[in-house]
């Protein structure tokens, strides 16, 4: 069996150690004679798996006790709808910082549902190559929350600061962050946020699971008529089991949390490794006249590194040769073209080294 290097933006590489552990427990979970996939979500075994995953996540991210952790379905995109439904019940508007496609989708979904929205800042006019400065954010006085995307997966743009803001009267505006593509890539200060959410299929586990971390005081503000399955408070009260949760994805996420803590040394170690991986690849791109990346240095994503070739006519040859060399899924998002290497936690440093060597060789032969 050969496992190639997978640079997919999502569903993304999973740690081999996690997949091996899952394989070893696939048919018979710890002597119980059945698979985790075949267990009742209400069974003692599964409840223990679920609780362990939450406890481990709380340890990894140092989540304070006044936050609830929800293990949901529907993807990060469903949160685009659930957020205004849960946070605008007391009135006010949803404020947005838009730095790319995902932030834009979050705003258009809230608008589509008829909620009052306000664009506090956007980097669209400048091609989303740098994030707006903190003092450029124009928050509305009726802001119920401020939404932003800490890492834009398609553009490869990350915030280099946390946009903690206040209304004119000095009161805090709850900060809501789509961390789908950079959660668990390093430590964060959860207390800066009202809500953190992330689709699992990058740094957490397989697709089908969505994490929501929500501060207690934001619960109970749901708009009238919201479906029960969309209501954070009901979901929190039911331990994310209002209905059948995505049990196997939850279990695998738990294995990833154990891997991060026990095998990788926790999030500070992960942070250093991720920085090293990204620094190497950007250095190789910057040192070459053949490859380029347009993002302002301070905002370059460590997780998703888009780059273009000097001659776009070579894109398909590049992708084909890379694939043959065991470097998979380097094609950029269909909306932007070019290449994109996603360097999530489960992508080892050797994969980045192999990619850099391949890029240098390709440039020499074809550039
Ligand atoms: N937000 C970000 C930052 C993403 O990268 C993605 C998916 N690539 C989404 C939201 C949408 O996630 P999902 O497909 O889970 O709805």
pLDDT of residue 353: 98
Given the residues 104, 158, 202, 221, the one annotated as active site: 202
Q: Which pLDDT tens digit goes with each residue over 12-28?
A: 999 999 999 999 999 99
Q: What would the DSSP string read from start to end of 290-342?
A: SEE--S-GGGB-SSEEEEEESSGGGHHHHHHHHHHTTEE--BPPTTT-SEEEE
pLDDT of residue 84: 98
Q: In what order do the strands lie in the sheet with 304-309?
A: 291-292, 304-309, 339-342
Question: 178 CB under 6 A from ligand 1?
Answer: yes
Q: Is 41 helix (H, G, I), strand (E, B) or coil?
A: coil
Question: 77 CB under 6 A from ligand 1?
Answer: yes
Whether 102 sits among the annotated catalytic residues: the reply is: yes
Whether 202 sits among the annotated catalytic residues: the reply is: yes
Q: Which of 72, 199, 306 to mutate to test the pocket of ligand 1 (most atoms within 8 A of CB)?
A: 199
- Is the pLDDT score of 340 beyond 90? yes
- CA–CA gap between residue 111 and residue 98 (Å, rounded): 14
Given the residues 56, 104, 158, 178, the one annotated as active site: 178
- Is the whole model's pTM more than 0.75, yes or no? yes
Q: From the options 1.20.20.10, 3.40.640.10, 3.55.40.20, 3.40.50.620, give the CATH code of 17-263.
A: 3.40.640.10
Q: Which pLDDT tens digit goes with each residue over 253-298?
A: 999 999 999 999 999 999 999 999 999 999 999 999 999 999 999 9
Question: Could you give the count of Cα atoms lying within 13 Å of 138 in the half-sphere of its Cβ?
Answer: 6
Question: 75 CB under 6 A from ligand 1?
Answer: yes
- CA–CA gap between residue 359 and residue 288 (Å, rounded): 10
- CA–CA gap between residue 241 and residue 261 (Å, rounded): 26
- Answer yes or no: CATH 3.90.1150.10 is held by domain 265-366: yes
- CA–CA gap between residue 75 and residue 98 (Å, rounded): 20
Q: What angle do CA 289, 290, 295 make, to 5 degrees?
A: 80
Question: 167 alpha carbon to ligand 1 midpoint, in Å?
Answer: 29
Q: Where are the domains of the chain?
A: 17-263, 265-366
């Amino acid at each position: 069996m050969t496992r190639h290097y997978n640079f997919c933006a999502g569903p993304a590489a999973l740690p081999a150690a996690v997949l091996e552990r899952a394989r070893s427990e696939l048919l018979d979970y710890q002597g119980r004679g059945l698979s985790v996939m075949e267990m009742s979500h209400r069974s003692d075994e599964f409840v223990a798996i679920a609780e362990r995953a939450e406890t481990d996540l709380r340890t990894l991210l140092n989540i304070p006790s006044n936050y609830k952790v929800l293990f949901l379905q529907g993807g990060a995109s469903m949160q685009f709808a659930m957020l205004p439904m849960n946070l605008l019940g007391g009135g006010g508007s949803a404020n947005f910082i838009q730095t790319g496609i995902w932030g834009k989708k979050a705003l258009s979904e809230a608008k589509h549902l008829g909620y009052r929205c306000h664009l506090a800042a956007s980097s669209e006019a400048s091609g989303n190559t740098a994030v707006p400065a903190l003092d450029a954010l124009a928050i509305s006085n009726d802001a119920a929350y401020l939404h932003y995307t800490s890492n834009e997966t398609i553009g490869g743009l990350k915030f280099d600061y946390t946009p903690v803001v206040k209304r004119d009267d000095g009161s805090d505006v709850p900060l809501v962050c789509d961390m789908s593509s950079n959660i668990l890539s390093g430590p964060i200060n959860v207390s800066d946020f009202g809500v953190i959410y992330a689709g699992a299929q990058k740094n957490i586990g397989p697709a089908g699971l969505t994490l929501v971390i929500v501060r207690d005081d934001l619960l109970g503000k749901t708009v009238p008529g919201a479906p029960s399955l969309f209501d954070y408070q009901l979901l929190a009260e039911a331990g994310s089991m209002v209905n059948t949760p995505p049990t196997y994805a939850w279990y695998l996420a738990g294995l990833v949390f154990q891997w991060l803590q026990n095998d990788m040394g926790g999030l500070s170690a992960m942070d250093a490794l991720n920085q090293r991986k990204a620094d190497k690849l950007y250095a190789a791109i910057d040192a070459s006249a053949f490859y380029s990346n347009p993002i302002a240095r301070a905002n370059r994503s460590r997780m998703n590194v888009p780059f273009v070739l000097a001659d776009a006519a070579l894109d398909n040859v590049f992708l084909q040769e890379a694939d043959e060399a065991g470097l998979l899924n380097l094609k950029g998002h269909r909306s932007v073209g070019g290449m994109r290497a996603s360097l999530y936690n489960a992508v080892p440093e050797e994969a980045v080294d192999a990619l850099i060597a391949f890029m240098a060789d390709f440039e020499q032969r074809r550039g």
